[in-house]
Amino acid sequence: MKTTKITALLMAAVMMMGGTACEHNKKGVPPADAKVDFSAPAPVPVPEEGWTDETLGDVIYLNGKKLQLPCYVEDLGEGFEVEPDEEREKNLEDKGYSTFFLDYYGYNVGVISLKGADRKVISLDLTCYDDYDKLVKEYPKLPFSVNGVTIGSSIEDMRTNLGKDSADDKEPDYFSCCPDKLWVTAAVLEDKVKTISVTYRKNGTQDTSEAEQHEVVSNESN
């Protein structure tokens, strides 16, 4: 759940730094000549033995192709851009990693974490709720899915296509799966998937600890 809390902090910063929601509502729509690919294989049954890095990685699609972390921002496809931020760039240079706001055709859709001088993407966190924990109805349709589940999918689809894994009966609106290097989480609000995170964990551990990420986010949000 820490990942979604971090996202909430970042989304609050978006509202303060990026202007009003009305400004965002005009964005997020690809131009008519944009190369947007929503294709992805049909959902597969949840493996009886549980997800592995390989089987989970095979069902994560972005812009018509598998999303393989770590990758470069350019690999995310047309329309995705990192919002320029000098302070975050300095964090990346000084600490070797930093979080950045991620836009889709000018609409903020979440955050990504970059690592190293080569700016590899090690985490993608998409979210469609605001700092009041309300769903953003104008959130754009993204060419992204995890075994058929995307932002706005129903809780039934999340349970059917992703399974329960580490989420227990006390948290039926939350999914978390981390076989080894690949960590996927999803959370539900108002019976709809509000956030999906995909993170690469080097040697089975996060490249940057959650505590370190929280510190960076807190410092950048102030």
> Do residues 99 and 213 lie in contact, with contact meaning Cβ atoms separated by under 8 Å?
yes
Question: Would you kindly state where each structural domain of the chain is located, as residue ranges?
Answer: 2-221
pLDDT tens by residue, 7-23: 444 444 444 444 433 34
> What is the model's pTM?
0.79
> Is 50 exceeded by the pLDDT of residue 112?
yes
> Is 90 exceeded by the pLDDT of residue 57?
yes
- Rg over CA atoms, the chain: 16
